[in-house]
Amino acid sequence: MNGGEISCQQKSKFKTSRRSLIEMIIEKSFFISALAAILAIITITLYILTQGIPAIWKIGLGEFALGQVWKPLENQFGIFPMVIASLLGTFGAVVLGGVVGLFTAVFLAEIAPSWLVAIFRPAIALLAGIPSVVYGFFGLVVLVPIIRNTWGGPGNSLLAVIIILAVMILPTVISISETALRAVPSEYREGSLALGASPLKTIFQVLIPAAHSGILAAIVLGTGRAIGETMAVILVAGNTPLLPDSLLDPVRTLTVNIALEMGYAYGLHREALFATGVILFIFIMVLNIIFNLVVNTKEGRCDK
């Protein structure tokens, strides 16, 4: 009997130690994965900065960031037209895609019947899986001729960039915004309706403000996708490094400039392209900082 009890105790200790070992291995695996991600970010950041900052010093920050002429063969490296094109294209895409995406998310989360949601959701997921080059080809074959025949101009334009980027960020904005809206407690809806608010007023004055963190996250991720997109933009932008006077003018974004010229660039030209990557990196950092400040400010007001 005593021998059986000892055997049971030994088995229990063995199981406990084995469980502890497995948990320790899993915890270390999580730590190593997180560390690998951080090291990857640090490595990429340092590489871009070390390759790009020397060019900024050689060219001059003012001449590089505010110069309006990009002629590498003449040692003129002004990226201001491309900065403006990137900002305008991203801003227009986020406004257009953000509004459409948010309204679609509200429709799926609050209005659409379940059978319609079952149709829409896979379609949106399929939209997210389409390669960017296919979006660009569609824009080149369909969108560019429509713009050219309707409003004039070459068709390859800032307007085409905005529309194609707005379509590309829709899946991100819709899926994250819908998840945020569905995460709002049902008591919020019931309380608002019980107080006499209409369903539409409940959506815009209760649900959307309550889900603001998730919606802002969707907008930020969509913005990152838009400002970093290259392949689709190459096909519809026109790739002219000049300041646009209207939505119908061809443009060249920062990412397109890097992709077009990195293959044959050398010397200061190559360093200037890396410096363009530094500017993009700064844009994304500023975007994340602004997002965090907005979210923290709103959460602080809610706590008060």
The three-state secondary structure class of 70 is strand
- Shared domain check, 116 and 20: no
The yes-or-no verdict on residue 6 having pLDDT over 80 is: no
97 and 44, same structural domain?
A: no
Flag whether 202 is in a domain. Answer: yes
- What was the pLDDT predicted at 13? 65
Counting the structural domains of the chain, the total is 2
Residues 239 and 291 in one domain: yes
Residue 71, SS3 per DSSP: strand
Q: Are residues 215 and 89 in the same domain?
A: yes
pTM value? 0.84
Question: Average pLDDT for residues 264-279, to the nearest whole number?
Answer: 89
**pLDDT greater than 70 at residue 8:** no
Share of the chain above pLDDT 90, in %: 34
Same domain membership, residue 176 and residue 263: yes
Q: Output Rg (C-alpha) for the chain, integer angstroms.
A: 26
Residue 180 and residue 215: Cα distance in Å, rounded?
Answer: 7
pLDDT for 94 equals: 93
Residues 96 and 149 in one domain: yes
The mean per-residue pLDDT over the stretch 144-168 comes to 92
Q: What is the pLDDT of residues 184-241, one digit of tens each?
A: 888 888 888 888 888 888 888 888 988 888 898 899 888 888 888 888 999 999 888 8
d(CA 125, CA 189): 27
- pLDDT above 60: residue 1: no
Q: Helices (DSSP H) in the chain: which residue ranges? A: 2-59, 61-66, 80-106, 114-128, 132-138, 144-151, 158-182, 186-194, 199-202, 208-210, 212-228, 231-237, 254-261, 268-303
69: left (phi over 0), alpha (psi -120 to 50) or beta: beta
Average pLDDT over residues 47-63: 88
| Residue 128 is assigned to a structural domain of this protein | yes
Look at 128 and 88; give whichever has higher pLDDT. 88
> For residue 87, is it within any domain?
yes
- The answer to whether residues 22 and 92 belong to one domain is no
pLDDT of residue 41: 87
| pLDDT recorded at residue 99 | 94
CATH number for the domain spanning 214: value is 1.10.3720.10
Tell me the residue range of the domain where 91 lies.
79-303
Calculate the CA 120 to chain-centre distance: 22
**Per-residue pLDDT, 62:** 86
CA 93, 132, 109, 189 torsion-angle sign: negative
Q: Is residue 40 pLDDT above 70, yes or no?
A: yes
Listed residue (155, 154, 157, 136) closest to 237, CA to CA: 157
Q: Does 140 reside within a domain?
A: yes
Task: Tell whether the model's pLDDT for residue 95 goes beyond 90.
Answer: yes
Q: Do both 9 and 40 map to the same domain?
A: yes
For residue 144, name the pLDDT band (cuts at 50, 70, 90).
very high
Q: Is residue 71 part of a domain?
A: no
First to last CA, the chain: 65
Neighbours of 23 (CB within 10 A): 10
